[in-house]
Amino acid sequence: MSLRPTLETRQATPTMEGAGVKLHRAFGFQDPSEMDPFLLFDDFRNDHPEDFEKGFPWHPHRGIETITYVLNGTVDHSDSLGNNGSLGAGDVQWMTAGSGILHQEMPHGNTRGQMHGFQLWGNLPAAQKMTAPRYQDVTAGAIPTVIDDDGVAVRIITGEFWGKKGPVDGIAADPQYLDVTVPAGVRKTFQIDTYRRAFAYIFEGAGAFVDASNPSGVLLEKEVMGEELNIRDMSGDRTLVRFGNGDKVTVQAGPDGMRFLLISGAPIEEPVAWHGPIVMNTRDELVQAVKELNNGTFIKPAH
C-alpha cells in the first residue's frame, strides 16, 4: 500500500452566489484538470437567515451533475420539468443536469436559524453531456452509517466502503462520497482506489493527514509500511486537503475529534468548455448552449 501525499492544504474562500447567499468556495472555476472529475465545491453553512434566505432563484445547468448534501435546515427545490420537493437534514440530492434543466433552490433555516450544507459539481463525459436529466433524492434514513470498533463512523452516500454501499448509483465518475467522523486522538487509515482522484474537506474539529512527502512536517513515526511519515500542523474548519496518487490516506484526529468529507472519483480527462453552470467539451458546444438558453430551446423534449 502507498500513502497518498498531500498536494495542497487550503482554506475555502468567502464568496457570494445566487441572489445573495454567502458561502465559502473550496474550489471552482480554476484549472478543471486539477480536481477532475469534480468542478466545484461550495460550503453554504450559515447561522443567520439574512445570509442565505434570498436563495438561488431560477438558473440553468447543462453537462454536469450537482450534489447537494444538507446538514441542517431545509432546501426547497423546483425545476422546469415540473419536479419539486424539499431536502431536510441529512438528505442528499444528486441531480444529473444532462441535456439541460432550469431549477431553483430556496434554503430555510432550522429552529435556530441555521442553514448548513454543501454542494459539489461533478463533470459528465462527452457521451453523457446530453443525456436526459434525472434526480436521485435520498433521505437521511436511506444512507448507511458504518461504525468501527475505535468509534470511527462513516456515512456512505455513494460508492462502496467497509462492506456497505451508498444509495446513489449510476454516476458517470464512479465517485465515492463519504462523511467521516473520527473521535479525539484516533488515527485511522482509509483505502481509496488508486485510479481515483481524491480530496478531503474538514468541517468540524481539527486533525492532520499523515504526509509521506512533506519534509517540513513534524516527525510522527520513523517507519510505517516501510515509509518515513510526517504529519502537518492540525487543520480545522473549512480546510480542503488535496491528495496525490496512492491507495490510502491516514488521518490523526485532534483533541476534539474531527469530521470531514472524503470524496474521490475517476478522472474523465476530456476538454472542458465552461461558462458558469454550463459545462461542455468545446467552445462551439458552449456557444450553442447559450444560444438555446436565449432563444428558449434549452430544455430538450423527453424521448
Q: Read off the pLDDT of residues 129-166 as tens digits, 9 standing for 90 and up.
A: 999 998 889 999 999 999 999 999 999 999 999 999 99
Count of the separate structural domains present in the chain? 2
Same domain, 265 and 286: no
Confidence (pLDDT) at 230: 54
Between 163-172, 244-253, 255-264, the lowest mean confidence (pLDDT) is in: 163-172
Same domain, 91 and 182: no
Per-residue pLDDT, averaged over 234-253, amounts to 94
Same domain, 119 and 151: no
Residue 2 lies in a domain: no
pLDDT at 221 > cutoff 50:
no
Confidence (pLDDT) at 222: 40
pLDDT digits (tens, 9 = 90+) for 64-111: 999 999 999 999 999 888 888 899 999 999 999 999 999 999 999 999
Same domain, 18 and 68: yes
Distance from C-alpha of 249 to C-alpha of 31, rounded to nearest angstrom: 24
Q: Which three cell numbers stand for residue 285?
A: 458546444
Give the CATH number for residue 236: 2.60.120.10
Same domain, 131 and 234: no
- Smallest CA-to-CA distance from 121 within 272, 287, 251 is with 272
Between 41-45, 74-78, 171-175, 294-298, the lowest mean confidence (pLDDT) is in: 171-175
Residue 3 lies in a domain: no
Q: Which three cell numbers stand for residue 283?
A: 467552445
Average pLDDT, the chain: 90
Residue 91 lies in a domain: yes
If pLDDT is split at 50, 70 and 90, which confidence band does 216 have?
A: very low
Same domain, 19 and 122: yes
Backbone angles phi, psi at 294, to 5 degrees: -75, -30
Residue 276 lies in a domain: no
Same domain, 194 and 229: yes
Same domain, 240 and 136: no
Confidence (pLDDT) at 75: 95
If pLDDT is split at 50, 70 and 90, which confidence band does 44 have?
A: very high
Residue 275 lies in a domain: no
Q: Which three cell numbers stand for residue 65?
A: 451533475
Same domain, 162 and 104: no
Domain that holds residue 39: 10-142+281-303
Which pairing describes strands 187-191 and 239-243: parallel, antiparallel, or unpaired? unpaired
pTM value?
0.92
pLDDT at 195 > cutoff 50:
yes
Same domain, 106 and 134: yes
Backbone angles phi, psi at 292, to 5 degrees: -65, -35
